[in-house]
Amino acid sequence: MDAKGRKQASDIGAAIQHIGFRFTHIFSSEWCRFKETTELMKLGYWTTFQGLNSFFQSYANKQDTLERLRFKLDALTEGVTSMVSHQVIIKAVTGASSGSGGFVAYNTHTKRRKVFRLD
C-alpha cells in the first residue's frame, strides 16, 4: 500500500471515530494490504476471515469464498460489523463498488446499501 492508501485508511477510520460509531465485529481479508488497512483505521479489535479473500483471477475459489461469507453473514445476529475486503467480494454481495478511499454500508436484512467516499 502506498502513502495515499495509508492516508485514505486513516481518514476513513478517523471519520467513523469522529461520529462515535462503534462496530460489534471487525473482519479483514487475509491479504496484507487489507490487514494494513484495517489496522490503520484503528476501529478496534479485528481478525482475519478467509471468506473476504479475493477470488479475482482464481486466487481463491469464488463459490467457496462466497459460501463462507454468506454463512458468516447469516451467523451475525447483533450489532454492526465492519468487513475490509476486495472489490470483487463487495460487488458480489452488495452489487455496489466504492473504489479506493471509499466504503459501502450494507444491511444484510433489507439488502439496502449506501456508498461513501471521502474526498
Q: What is the pLDDT of residue 119?
A: 66
Helix axes 32-41, 3-18, angle to 10 degrees: 40
What stretches of 5-112 adopt beta strand conformation (E)? 25-28, 47-48, 81-84, 102-106
Stated pTM of the model: 0.88
What DSSP state is assigned to residue 81?
E
pLDDT, tens digit (0-9, with 9 covering 90-100), for 30-55: 999 999 999 999 999 999 999 999 99
CA distance 60 to 38: 21
Ranges of residues in the chain with a pLDDT under 70 are 119
Assigned CATH for 3-117 = 3.40.50.1240
Q: What is the pLDDT of residue 25?
A: 92
Domain residue ranges in the chain: 3-117
Q: Which three cell numbers stand for residue 37?
A: 488497512
